[in-house]
Amino acid sequence: MFRLRVSRLVAGAGVRNLVGSELKKLGVSKCVLVTGPRTGSTSYCREVVKSVEAEGIEVSVWREVDREPDEDVFEVCLEFVRSEEPEAIVAFGGGSVLDTAKLVNACYSVGRGMKFFLSPSSQLARFLLKPLIAIPTTFGTGSETTCASVVKVGGVKKGIIHESMLPDTAILDWEIRAPKKVSASAGMDAIMHAFEAYTCLECEKVESGFYSGSNEVTDTLALKALELLSHLPDYVEKGEHSREVAVGSNVAGVALGNAGVHFGHAASYAIASLTERPHGECVASIGQALLEWIEENISRGRVENVRRALGASIDEMRRKVGLPSLSDMGLGVDDIPELVSRAMEVKRLVAMRPEIDEKAAKEIFERALSF
């Protein structure tokens, strides 16, 4: 058995200018736009605001989501939204902005705090939230089509997942360009989403939990995403193939949001806790070592399919787009025990590839240091 969740999608060049008409269809008269300080100052953001105002819809803008939002940023954003009492929320930015907006919308709509959605009991209920339109400005996180929100709690990244947080509509505009370094990091994140979704536990073996495990639908999506994302180096360096990368990121997001991801993302949280590096860099640094371990211990055929779709190894892609290796980040053999310990604590992800125990995790981190 498996389930499929996906946001309604509007995709194309310039579709950021359709946000106002999408809100009008929902009967919205007032909204809050959540964004970051840099993204909020771009012409893209001004165009989104203009499209909303052109429909006679009142819009208030909150521009304070930083790159790695913590509970303090979340609380301030939630307080702003509560004070404005909007009928809908628009999220415009990278993964951090979209994740913050999704969790803020859940808490605002339900009238509860973050702790409620961190508790297992929240999973037992379904909620009708205010409409949320998600507009990614970086192509990689897939947050516009997932039910997950990642936020730092007590200095540690926490993944908060609830079906109700799935955005109503994703606006995918491949005219929007992010800086090269951001595009590289986000793009490698998308590649890892597709790779891990394709190689996670099969749906028949998933006993319970939010993710369904790999299945015919997510396998098809993951491999197509990898094929599209093979253009990432040209996109990062020359700005070419923006359509392929944008759609590939979104499709990879659908695959991960349904099948799940596994040790690569658990490891990335551990790496980030020691280095403060962006998520895409962290997860990319473990990718090749994880791929080779899966090839040797779980499925050679699946890894061959990944290589064929991507047209390169994960490490080749990482180097082509200029992201650092694990050792480039300043980590070494002495850090492995703590990396293993922190990665294995992310039980909901480790459970999606349970063959990777502490011994295997140690082997994967050791191998990653060789690249």
Span 295-351, pLDDT tens digits: 999 999 999 999 999 999 999 999 999 999 999 999 999 999 999 999 999 999 999
Amino acid at the residue 87:
E
What percentage of residues in the chain have a pLDDT greater than 90?
88
CA distance 161 to 142: 14
Return the DSSP state at 126: -
What percentage of residues in the chain have a pLDDT greater than 70?
99
Mean pLDDT of 196-222: 94
> In the chain, what are the domains?
8-172 (3.40.50.1970), 180-368 (1.20.1090.10)
Amino acid at the residue 270:
A
Tell me: pLDDT of 70 over 90. Answer: no
Angle at alpha carbon of residue 58, lines to 67 and 103, rounded to 5°: 35
Tell me: pLDDT of 209 over 80. Answer: no
According to the model, what pLDDT value does residue 120 have?
Answer: 74
CA atoms within 13 A on the CB side of 40: 16
pLDDT per position as a tens digit, 124-160: 678 899 999 999 999 999 999 999 998 888 877 788 8
- Contact between 183 and 322 under an 8 Å Cβ cutoff? The reply is no
- Contact between 357 and 347 under an 8 Å Cβ cutoff? The reply is no
Tell me: pLDDT of 109 over 70. Answer: yes
Q: Whole-number mean pLDDT of the chain?
A: 95
Of the pLDDT bands very low, low, confident and very high (cuts 50, 70, 90), residue 183 is very high
Only one residue has tokens 């209920």, namely 125
Q: Quick one: CA dihedral 52, 186, 196, 274, positive or negative?
A: negative
C-alpha distances in angstroms, 223 versus 112, 227, 287, 301?
39, 6, 16, 13
pTM across the whole model: 0.96
